[in-house]
Amino acid sequence: MKRTVTAEAPCKLNLHLRVRERRNDGYHSIESIFQQISLSDTLTVSLDGNRGGCSVVCPGFDLPEVNTVSKAVEQFRIATGITDGIAIRLDKRIPAG
């Protein structure tokens, strides 16, 4: 059985961003001031019931095989234990950059 969820991914505008010291977990602490604006991307995620596999489609963009979405899927799998195939469609309306 295919299960699908669609959600909006809102845009924010960084008014201030300062990268601070590196933490023990390898990430950096940050200071940020931002404002949410009215743009958003649409993300549709489907579990297809077949084991493994991940496809990411973003109409109008040529994505590398490994990208931020596919990396997030791997972290999601680790956190949830879900092994179903995952199909993702990202409809971009937020300009890159």
Q: What is the pLDDT of residues 12-54, one digit of tens each?
A: 999 999 999 999 999 999 999 999 999 999 999 998 777 778 8
Q: Give the global pTM.
A: 0.73
Would you say residue 97 has pLDDT above 80?
A: no
Point out the least confidently predicted range of 18-27, 59-68, 84-93: 59-68
Instruction: Tell me if 62 is assigned to some domain.
Output: yes
Range(s) of the domain holding residue 46 = 3-10+40-91
Q: Which of 51, 49, 38, 54 is nearest to 89 (CA)?
A: 54
Instruction: Tell me if 53 is assigned to some domain.
Output: yes
Instruction: Tell me if 21 is assigned to some domain.
Output: no
Task: Provide the mean pLDDT of the chain.
Answer: 90
pLDDT of residue 1: 58
Q: Say which residues have a Cβ less than 8 Å from residue 64's Cβ, sequence separation at least 6.
A: none
CA pair distance 20, 27, nearest whole angstrom: 10
Instruction: Tell me if 31 is assigned to some domain.
Output: no
Domain count, the chain: 1
Instruction: Tell me if 80 is assigned to some domain.
Output: yes
CA pair distance 56, 70, nearest whole angstrom: 7
